[in-house]
Amino acid sequence: MAVLAFDVDGTIFDSDSIIVDAFAGGIDDFMRRQPGARLDLPAKSDIIAQIGNPAGAIFSALFPGLDADSRSLMERLCTERLSAMVRSGGGGLIDGAAETLAALARDGHRFLVASNGRIEYLRSILETHGLWRLFERPVLCIDRASGRRDKTDIVREYVRLHSSGNGVFVMIGDRGSDMAAARGNGVAFIGCAFGHAGDAEISSARHIARRFGEIPALVKIIEASFPTPRIMHCGLLE
């Protein structure tokens, strides 16, 4: 059975309805701590465009006038706001995600979290919606101590940990960063056209799901292409 590495925001979860309020609250919290600061709330389209990038890069792009320490504080405050909103019922799973993940788990597939987000936010989503137990440990994230720079590094480490020859490895996500992580590590990729960017960033992918419920059929196609279970290599990707 395939090892399935899932992006989270835009692939399993939709933060569209809460993301602006979370950033607005984070900015308010920041300015209470730094009364002299004056910051504008980024446009929703600008925030959505950044989702999928490493968390630090998101805040560098959205708040370029802040120094490194201030950006780190802003990141923490916005993440805390976003996580709290998720745990209070904000946002929601992508249609069909819960049922499809349960079916894939029953079939014996193994799940990994492959996200550029912070662990606090990822846990808030997966725990709130009863999915945390489905994903294997350790959950690899980007943090200042890990030395991981982006999702390509995360997937590389997962491949090393899960390349024992017991199954095909598939990266599943909605952004160009997900496809780049798959291609950079020579593993299969399923693009999710129902995510934040539609199919704009993943249109060159061989396998594209237009609904979450299409993922199992695409996984079967990938598995059938490789009857001897193994990690796949770069030449097999388009």
Output the six-digit token pair for 15: 């933060």
Residue ranges per structural domain of the chain: 3-14+92-236, 19-87
Mean pLDDT of the chain: 91
Contact 51, 14 (CB under 8 A): no
Task: Give yes or no for residue 229 having a pLDDT over 50.
Answer: no
pLDDT band at 167 (very low <50, low <70, confident <90, very high): low
Name which of 46, 112, 131, 121 is nearest 90 in CA terms. 121
What pLDDT sits at residue 36?
84
Query: At the topology level of CATH, where does 3-14+92-236 sit?
Result: Rossmann fold (3.40.50)
Report the distance separating Cα 234 and Cα 238, nearest Å. Answer: 9
Output the six-digit token pair for 173: 């996500």
Phi and psi, residue 142, nearest 5°? -90, 125
Task: Give yes or no for residue 76 having a pLDDT over 50.
Answer: yes
Instruction: For residues 74-81, give the mean pLDDT.
Output: 96
Selected residue with higher pLDDT from 27 and 233: 27
Report the distance separating Cα 166 and Cα 202, nearest Å. Answer: 28
What pLDDT sits at residue 230?
44
Q: Tell me which DSSP letter residue 140 carries.
A: P
